[in-house]
């Protein structure tokens, strides 16, 4: 009887542990679609958790603007919700493809009459803001981001020179 009671206690502990849901990151809860006491099954969407520490912007730059953008370059951010305040940030990453290539239905360009469309490239900008600004920053705000690409200015000339040497050696 003692062993049966211990097994029941262990099963109850497992069941109790299944009632606790933990988020993988600290953050603010938004778009909550569950209530206390509600039963949910695996894979059910319950809420959105917006991280407080890793705040970033996904800026969709034209392909003609990203040639000199590199991770680590400084950025200046103006948020419409904070008029007159400039926040600092830096380029965290540049997407390996355009937004259209990773869309649900990527375009299939056929031969024939082709109109060149300037593509957009997602660039992740990490925001280096203090706790007061973080309270106001929420997803979906309108921002204007300026990236300082001066550190990569000479790379275009180097690429051109390397291409000239490659063509000369290949002929």
Position 146 scores a pLDDT of 93
CA–CA separation, 119 vs 57, rounded Å?
19
- C-beta separation of 50 from 28 below 8 A: yes
pLDDT tens digit string along 95-136? 988 877 777 777 666 666 667 778 899 999 999 888 888 888
Position 171 scores a pLDDT of 59
Backbone angles phi, psi at 123, to 5 degrees: -125, 125
* Cβ partners under 8 Å of residue 106, min gap 6: 100
The angle at the Cα of 109, spanning 105 to 112, to the nearest 5 degrees, equals: 150
What value does the mean pLDDT take over residues 64-80?
91
Position 61 scores a pLDDT of 92
Average pLDDT, the chain: 85
CA–CA separation, 90 vs 151, rounded Å?
13
pLDDT tens digit string along 53-66? 788 999 999 988 98
């Amino acid at each position: 009887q003692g062993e049966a009671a211990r097994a029941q206690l262990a099963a109850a502990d497992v069941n109790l542990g299944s009632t606790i849901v933990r988020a993988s990151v600290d953050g603010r809860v938004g778009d909550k679609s569950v209530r206390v006491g509600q039963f949910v099954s695996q894979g059910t969407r319950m809420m959105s958790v917006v991280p407080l520490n890793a705040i970033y912007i996904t800026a969709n730059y034209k392909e003609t603007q990203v040639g000199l953008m590199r991770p680590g370059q400084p950025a200046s951010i103006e948020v419409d919700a904070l008029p007159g305040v400039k926040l600092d940030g830096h380029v965290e990453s540049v997407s390996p493809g355009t937004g259209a290539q990773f869309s649900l239905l990527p375009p299939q360009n056929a031969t024939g009459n082709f109109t060149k469309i300037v593509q957009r490239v997602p660039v992740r900008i990490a925001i280096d803001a203090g706790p007061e600004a973080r309270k106001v920053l929420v997803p979906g705000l309108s921002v204007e981001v300026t990236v300082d690409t001066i550190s990569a200015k000479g790379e275009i000339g180097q690429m051109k020179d390397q291409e000239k040497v490659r063509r000369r050696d290949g002929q």
